[in-house]
Amino acid sequence: MAQRSITTPPACLTSRLARRLALLILDVDGVLTDGALWFGSRGEVMKRFHVRDGHGIKLLQAAGIQIAFVSGRRSSAVAARARELGVRLVLQGVGDKSRALDQLLRRLSLSDTQVACVGDDTPDIPLFGRVALAVAVRDAHPLAARAAHCRTELPGGQGAVREVVDWILAARVRP
């Protein structure tokens, strides 16, 4: 069987769905990063973000889709990356991602049928059950992968977000 190109939208993403999307929610650790936490000698935490994911975020913003970072951890590195990319919707230290989704839907006057999300672990599963498009990164925990509508070819922190962006943009121009 031929492998699908990472820029070809999977069957779970129709052109109709792609055109309806208004918000992409991204988990941070394991999605925008590879999930590793680097601790310095003074306890500072450093994270590595992939530049292609950042460019993809900018492309989606230019296409009129809002981006939200929703993370269970708090990190000044996440806040700095969000500022750099112009991401204004940043929820950190989130214990219940379903409640965070409710907050975002109210704030933006959207319905869950207008939302996609990308996650990698069990805290993301409640979102996966509610949004129109739930994507697990290639190296997601098996429970999260099973709960998602589809899975990226690339792992978290290695361009998986850009892959999802490319899917959405390509699907929007399909007939």
| The pLDDT value given to residue 1 | 41
| The pLDDT value given to residue 32 | 97
Decide if 99 is inside a domain: yes
pTM of the model: 0.94
| The pLDDT value given to residue 44 | 81
Decide if 9 is inside a domain: no
Digit-coded pLDDT (tens) for 126-150: 999 999 999 999 999 999 999 999 9
| The pLDDT value given to residue 5 | 64
Q: How many structural domains comprise the chain?
A: 1
Segment 40-49 shows an average pLDDT of 86
Segment 61-82 shows an average pLDDT of 96
- Is a pLDDT exceeding 80 seen at residue 122? yes
Please give the residue range of the domain that contains residue 29.
Answer: 15-173
Separation CA 151–CA 137 (nearest Å):
6
Compute and round to an integer the Cα radius of gyration of the chain. 15
Q: Which residues, other chains included, contact 128 with Cβ-Cβ below 8 Å and sequence gap of 6+?
A: 117, 119, 134, 136, 144, 147, 148, 149
Segment 154-163 shows an average pLDDT of 97
We report the CATH number of the domain holding residue 87 as 3.40.50.1000
Residue 127, Cβ density class (10 Å: 0-12 exposed, 13-18 middle, ≥19 buried) = buried
Segment 26-30 shows an average pLDDT of 97
DSSP 8-state assignment for residue 81: H
